[in-house]
């Protein structure tokens, strides 16, 4: 049996302490180049989270009773439709939706922001910081979009936006694109203050909450924003669902995002009448299972928010302290030296390419981190020397103290002793020479 097959068949006791929700996959072991099998250390939550156990159980329940959504007379159709619409209410509640707000189900944050870009009234001017994730940076009309430079602090961000809106003046509809937590460094942005500046100038705001919603409370009314976009795969429901939540006027006035069945009210030879409300932009058969999974994740996180935040705060403190104490390691931020942050530590190691660091951590220590520019190239060019890349370790509910300690010791060992094997940089990335592992595994189907 290969090491991979030994690893995936390994079983350990699922971890659930202090009310922290559990995730699936906790039994996974992974092979290392040392011919050992170790507990998989997931420090890549900022990219994609594993499903919560509660989400997996809800999905299994739905799939046993699944039917077509809307207009079906059969029992499974009516049941699935009821759950789908209850999921809409749950997701809206999770981000503090106001009574007149719409909740439109999408594929992810990227799709949500693209939907809003599609719904912009003519001549809308858009302002967005260059530090934004590409999903928030790129969908807007280029001729009417102002990109603000990467700020040096939270105060600088507020000042830059105020000055930019003052220069823009009253030129028609205006939209300010805000980031809740930086996907590169985890820094939490001053959303309420930025939204207040936008309102003072008569502009609307949309919040990219993909990296914030899993870790901190997001409340549309309290923050003073007009729309919130977030993804299931960042919040422990990785089934291809996301949501755009907020004001209905621009959405109801826009042409349907997906002109198809479900978005239509009536179709005749001479006229098409489109739906109002969320259905207007949810053409085709919706991802009901994904929507219910997202709602389950939202309900589970909301019910255990204090435990989730305490778990992440403990691990983040341990992670940052360990990296800071390691010579030659540099932890990076956008908004000053040590801003409030979700569970992310992004770092570089003197003398080593970030891509090699992440591969060594994976091959030699069974750890998953991320390296690169993190779909935020403009920000990374500003933050990081060399090729503009870094290593990102992001903690979450599948991360344990042992994982964090293993990462810190792995980085320290790399600094002090170098890689355990020789690595060659190929077209497919770094490859360990004389790697004893058989990394093949049968397809799951």
Residues 28 and 101 in one domain: no
Residues 235 and 346 in one domain: no
Residues 269 and 316 in one domain: no
Are 184 and 382 within 8 A, CB to CB?
no
Report pLDDT for 14: 40
For residue 441, tell me if it sits in a domain.
Answer: no
Whole-angstrom distance, CA of residue 169 vs CA of residue 164:
9
Whole-angstrom distance, CA of residue 89 vs CA of residue 48:
24
Residues 80 and 198 in one domain: yes
For residue 439, tell me if it sits in a domain.
Answer: no
Are 401 and 318 within 8 A, CB to CB?
yes
Report pLDDT for 431: 96
Report pLDDT for 8: 40
Residues 259 and 387 in one domain: no
Domain boundary among 244, 274, 303: 303
Give every CB contact of residue 201 below 8 A, 6+ residues apart in sequence.
Answer: 162, 165, 166, 168, 174
Query: Among 182, 298, 375, 380, which one carries the catalytic annotation?
Result: 375
Are 288 and 80 within 8 A, CB to CB?
yes
For residue 167, tell me if it sits in a domain.
Answer: yes
Round to the nearest angstrom and report the end-to-end CA distance of the chain. Answer: 19
Tracing tokens 């951590």 back to the chain, one arrives at 361
Residues 41 and 116 in one domain: no
Give every CB contact of residue 87 below 8 A, 6+ residues apart in sequence.
Answer: 288, 291, 292, 294, 295
For residue 442, tell me if it sits in a domain.
Answer: no
Residues 299 and 311 in one domain: no
Q: Which domain holds residue 359?
A: 3-50+304-432
Whole-angstrom distance, CA of residue 357 vs CA of residue 345:
14
Domain boundary among 303, 320, 343: 303
Q: How far is CA 242 from the centre of its chain?
A: 10
Whole-angstrom distance, CA of residue 368 vs CA of residue 44:
6
Tally of domains in the chain: 2
Residues 43 and 72 in one domain: no
Residues 156 and 243 in one domain: yes
Residue numbers of the chain with a pLDDT score lower than 70: 1-18
Report pLDDT for 317: 97
Residues 76 and 108 in one domain: yes
For residue 59, tell me if it sits in a domain.
Answer: no
Q: What is the DSSP string of 360-416?
A: HHHHHH-EE-EEE-TT-HHHHHHH-STTT-EEEEE--TT--HHHHHHHHHHHHHHHH
For residue 11, tell me if it sits in a domain.
Answer: yes
Domain boundary among 263, 282, 303: 303
Tracing tokens 């996301």 back to the chain, one arrives at 242
For residue 9, tell me if it sits in a domain.
Answer: yes
Report pLDDT for 17: 55
- CATH number of 348's domain: 3.90.1150.10
Q: For residue 88, what are the CA distances in angstroms to 32, 52, 93, 167, 336?
A: 43, 19, 9, 39, 38
Q: For residue 193, what are the CA distances in angstroms to 61, 133, 159, 161, 254?
A: 43, 20, 10, 10, 29
Residues 23 and 74 in one domain: no
Give every CB contact of residue 26 below 8 A, 6+ residues apart in sequence.
Answer: 12, 14, 15, 398
Whole-angstrom distance, CA of residue 102 vs CA of residue 173:
20
Residues 166 and 75 in one domain: yes
Is 380 tagged catalytic?
no
- CATH number of 299's domain: 3.40.640.10
For residue 438, tell me if it sits in a domain.
Answer: no
């Amino acid at each position: 049996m290969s090491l991979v097959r030994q690893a995936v068949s390994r079983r350990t006791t699922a971890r659930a302490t202090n009310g922290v929700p559990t995730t699936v996959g906790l039994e996974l072991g992974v092979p290392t180049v040392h011919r050992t099998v170790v507990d998989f250390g997931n420090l890549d939550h900022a990219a994609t989270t594993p499903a919560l156990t509660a989400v997996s159980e809800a999905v299994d329940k739905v799939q046993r009773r699944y039917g077509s959504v809307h207009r079906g007379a059969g029992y499974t159709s009516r049941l699935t439709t009821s759950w789908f619409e209850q999921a809409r209410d749950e997701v809206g509640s999770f981000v503090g939706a106001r009574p007149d707000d719409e909740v439109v189900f999408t594929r992810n944050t990227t799709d949500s922001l693209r939907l809003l870009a599609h719904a912009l009234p003519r001549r809308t001017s858009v302002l967005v910081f260059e530090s934004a994730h590409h999903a928030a940076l790129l969908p807007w009309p280029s001729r009417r979009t102002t990109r603000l430079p990467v700020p040096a602090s939270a105060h600088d961000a507020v000042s830059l936006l105020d000055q930019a809106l003052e220069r823009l003046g009253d030129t028609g509809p205006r939209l300010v694109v805000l980031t809740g937590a930086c996907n590169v460094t985890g820094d939490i942005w001053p959303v309420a203050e930025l939204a207040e500046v936008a309102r003072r100038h008569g502009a609307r705001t949309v919040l990219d909450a993909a990296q914030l919603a899993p870790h901190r409370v997001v409340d549309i009314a309290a923050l003073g924003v007009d729309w919130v976009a977030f993804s299931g795969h960042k919040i422990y429901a990785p089934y291809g669902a996301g949501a755009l939540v907020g004001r209905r006027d621009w959405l109801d006035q826009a042409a349907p995002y997906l002109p198809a069945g479900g978005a239509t009210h009536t179709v005749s030879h001479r006229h098409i009448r489109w739906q109002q409300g969320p259905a207007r932009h949810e053409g085709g058969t919706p991802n009901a299972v994904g929507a219910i999974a997202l709602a389950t994740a939202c309900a589970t996180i909301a019910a255990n928010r204090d435990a989730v935040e305490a778990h992440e705060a403990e691990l983040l403190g341990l992670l940052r302290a360990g990296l800071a104490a390691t010579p030659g390691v540099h932890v990076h931020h956008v908004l000053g030296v040590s801003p409030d942050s979700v569970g992310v530590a992004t770092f570089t190691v003197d003398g080593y390419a970030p891509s090699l660091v992440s591969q060594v951590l994976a091959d030699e220590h069974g750890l998953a981190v991320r390296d690169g520019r993190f779909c935020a190239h403009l920000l990374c060019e500003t933050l990081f020397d060399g090729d503009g890349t870094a290593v990102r370790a992001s903690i979450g509910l599948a991360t344990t103290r042992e994982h964090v300690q293993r990462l810190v010791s792995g980085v320290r060992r790399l600094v002090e002793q170098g890689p355990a094997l020789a690595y060659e940089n190929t077209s497919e990335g770094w490859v360990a020479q004389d790697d004893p592992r058989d990394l093949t595994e049968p397809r799951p189907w």
